Amino acid sequence: MSRTRHADGPALSLRENGPALLVPAAWGVAAAALTGAVSEHALFVAHVVMSVLLVAFVVASWRDMETGVLRAWKLVILAGTPVTLAGVAGFLALAPLPADALLAVAFYGWMLLPAPAFVYTGLRDSAVPRSTVHYVAAACSVAGAAVAALAGSPAGVVAGVALVGLGQTAGILAATALY
């Protein structure tokens, strides 16, 4: 699969490789917040920063993400932006919905939203070892969400986050290698 590039240089490199850095960072901050290693305020700031980055990324990459696998990921970002903003609203308690419900939308939304795009990427990737990573990433996303939802302890929720984070990081690294 080839992709038309509309720009070269550091901005393109950041757009191509940024997700491979941001995915593990986001799940690392989430796990750290669950363990008390970072404050709720830090998690709030992470939601605000991620909201800005998601919008900037999709605007800057709009034409590059018109078809195929990249279109699937554009849809994930477009759906994920309001999911992330739900988390921001939950921290600010601005919405008519309970803050916990809004935070759950952000938490479980980002666990589950990438799963279909990972499956689609795996279907479109002809390199068998790498395509398998995409399927494993999708499975880890769903399984990690289930572990977190059914956990009877904070440690169980962290285990779910770790499963999602590892799977999605492997999947995004494989996708970055593909493109």
Cβ pair 27, 38 in contact under 8 A:
no
**CA end-to-end span of the chain:** 8
**Banded model confidence at residue 16, pLDDT cuts 50, 70, 90:** low
3-state secondary structure of 125: coil
Segment 13-18 mean pLDDT = 63
**Count of alpha carbons within 13 angstroms of residue 42, beta-carbon side:** 14
Tens of pLDDT, residue by residue over 91-133, are 998 768 899 999 999 999 999 999 999 999 999 877 777 789 9
Distance CA 25, CA 19 (A): 10
Residue 6 has pLDDT above 60, yes or no: no
State the residue for tokens 């790498």: 130
| Least confidently predicted of 48-52, 61-65, 79-83, 112-116 | 61-65
| Least confidently predicted of 9-18, 23-32, 129-138, 143-152 | 9-18
State the chain's mean pLDDT as an integer: 87
pLDDT of residue 79: 95
